[in-house]
Amino acid sequence: MNTLLLEDPATVAAEEQRSSGVWDYVSPSRLNLWLRCPLAFKLKYIDGIVPPPTPSLFLGKRVHDALEVFYRHRHLAVDFSVEAAARRITDSWDQAAELEAMQFKSLDECGKLKQQAIDLVTAYLQQVTAANTACEIPLAVETSMEAPLIDLDTGENLGIPLTGIVDLIADDRDGPLICDFKTAAKSAAPFEVTHEIQLSSYAYLFREATGDEEGGLEIRSLIKTKVPKIEFHRYRTRSEAHFRRLFAVIRAYLDDLDANRFVFRPGFGCVMCDYRDGSCRDWDG
């Protein structure tokens, strides 16, 4: 297999802060927000209206950070214990809150959220290490990838790249396993279509970067129940049909960009939308 280089954290940070112009690149997060609601997409990526971070989002970032540090050590064959990963959350918490302008309702809320993040990371790592005493071997951690979008059926270059940041690629018996970490309030049915855009995008990027085929894809959910619950949902290697579906979505997305057409899409997703009671209410079509 071709070597997939581990990128420096500074490179990943630069990727996350890159230009937000909608014609600069396509990403799974942009596609998924557009699919949920074109108006919300416009408000965020075109109008630049970014809501303040929520406690849930902040917690998710702290969990991701601790897991990233754990797997980076593992990638370099350096010991890094479960306890050290938990300390990472404690040691970086205040600085991260300041950098992200995170406002807690009270010191009690801040303390409970921090403990919840520690409990989630501890439960996940204990489960992973118990299942495999040697622990899985990372091939890449929090890696930014980019590739031109070339239609696999027609060979047409769409003229805009696809980018994505993959949480973890692990060595697995079936081949490289592409993994994504998610924090969630409750368990969810493992419907593949829920994650299809993200999974297919990551597989496309991986194949373009390495010339190899992934062995599988996995969503690893850290559930924020009173007693943390960890769920692993594995999905098969992407087929040609998956990529045709992905390109159909991307073409429809680009058509909307061309037409400057961003209508609101009311539905269940509105319950969790940060624009629901403000900018969305002001939109008149």
pLDDT for 111-158, tens place per residue? Answer: 999 999 999 999 999 998 876 655 688 999 999 999 999 998 899 999
Helix 107-131 to helix 82-99 angle (10° resolution) is 140
Q: Which overall architecture, per CATH, does domain 22-259 show?
A: Alpha-Beta Complex (3.90)
Q: How many CA atoms lie within 13 A of 58 on its CB side?
A: 26
Q: Average pLDDT, whole number, for the chain?
A: 89
10 Å CB burial of residue 98 (0-12, 13-18, 19+) is: exposed
Per-domain residue ranges for the chain?
22-259
Map residue 240 onto helix, strand or coil: helix
How far apart CA 156 and CA 263 sit, in angstroms, is 28
Cβ(65)–Cβ(114) below 8 Å: no
Give 160-208 pLDDT, tens digit per residue.
Answer: 999 999 999 999 988 999 999 999 988 877 788 999 999 999 999 999 9
User: For the whole model, what pTM was predicted?
Assistant: 0.88
Query: Pairing mode, if any, of strands 216-223 and 177-184?
Result: parallel
10 Å CB burial of residue 131 (0-12, 13-18, 19+) is: exposed
Q: Looking at residue 14, what is its pLDDT?
A: 39
